[in-house]
Amino acid sequence: MSRAAKTSTPILSVLAQRWSPRSFDPTKSLTLADLTPSFEAARWAPSANNAQEWRFLVGFRGDATFEAMTEHLSGWNASWAPNAGAIVVGMFEDDPENKARDYAPYDLGQAVAHFSVQAHADGLFVHQAAGFERDAMAAAFSVPESWKPFVVAVVGHLGAPELLNETLLARETAPRVRRPLDETVFTEPFPSV
Ligand SMILES: Cc1cc2nc3c(=O)[nH]c(=O)nc-3n(C[C@H](O)[C@H](O)[C@H](O)COP(=O)(O)O)c2cc1C
């Protein structure tokens, strides 16, 4: 099943091939060594003032961290994510007193993008999700007040779509769509809508 992006012009293969599955292979496991290149890619993401105000908590299927993480996923995420090999909780440091920290969530996003692209290049799939209970996740792992769990990156080997229920199967196989480039990029004042 090719889910490659239908791009208007050629782009890097890894970017065209990356997509966010819900079906992960429950027979395949991951270790920290498997994810080290992805974390290293995240480490080398750019950030405002090179502040690097991101942290990642990772659980692997079968360990207590992973188990606890799955308890704080919301909605459908709680049904598909537990088959993945790992769950990564991405956090940024929030410091209202420090204007330079305004970009922390943006920087975390860039780090997770680096992570996702490297993981895909390494044969893994990443599905980011905001659907989780942030406060409960923070409490479960004694995250200090200033650190905000903001996104989870569910990582694993691609599973067969047939492992999903009807609703998720429909989403898994729906066409991948994007707004056209000419509605996204402009060279004159912001277009009226
Ligand atoms: C910050 C963020 C939050 C997301 N939250 C969820 C989520 O809670 N549940 C989900 O199934 N997908 C979630 N997604 C995945 C997006 O729906 C998905 O990336 C988008 O539909 C594009 O699909 P693609 O990644 O396959 O190209 C999230 C993605 C991002 C970047």
Rg (CA), the chain: 18
For the chain, the average pLDDT equals 96
Is residue 7 assigned to a domain? no
What's the burial of 3, exposed, middle or buried (CB within 10 Å: 0-12/13-18/19+)? middle
Q: Is residue 147 part of a domain?
A: yes
Residue 192 lies in a domain: no
Distance CA 81, CA 65 (A): 14
- Closest-CA residue to 60 (of 37, 88, 38): 88
| pLDDT at residue 79 tops 90 | yes
pLDDT given for residue 193 in this prediction? 65
Look at the chain and report how many structural domains it folds into. 1
Residue 8 lies in a domain: no
Is the predicted pLDDT of residue 24 greater than 90, yes or no?
yes
Per-residue model confidence (pLDDT) at position 10:
98
Residue 81 domain-assigned? yes
Closest residue CA from atom 30 of ligand 1: 128
Instruction: Using alpha carbons, select from 157, 154, 104 the residue that is nearest to residue 129.
Output: 154
Q: With 70 as the cut, is the pLDDT of residue 1 above it?
A: no
Q: Are residues 108 and 52 in contact, defined by beta-carbon separation less than 8 angstroms?
A: no
In a domain, 153, yes or no: yes
Q: Look at ligand 1, atom 1, and give the residue with the nearest C-alpha.
A: 130
pTM value is 0.97
* Helix, strand, or coil (residue 152): strand
Q: Does residue 36 fall inside a structural domain?
A: yes
Ligand 1 midpoint to CA 89 (Å): 15
CATH of the domain at 109: 3.40.109.10
**Nearest residue (CA) to ligand 1, atom 19:** 20
Nearest CA to ligand 1 atom 29: 128
Q: Are 68 and 59 in contact (CB under 8 A)?
A: yes
Domain membership of residue 188 (yes or no) is no
Residue 100 has pLDDT above 90, yes or no: no
pLDDT of residue 99: 76
Structural domain for 168, as ranges: 20-176
**Which of 127, 168, 176 is the best mutation target for the ligand 1 pocket, counting ligand atoms within 8 Å of the beta carbon and taking the most?**
127
Ligand 1 pocket by Cβ (under 6 Å)? 19-20, 77, 128-131, 151, 176
Q: Which segment of 2-6, 82-86, 110-114, 116-120 scores lowest on mean pLDDT? A: 2-6
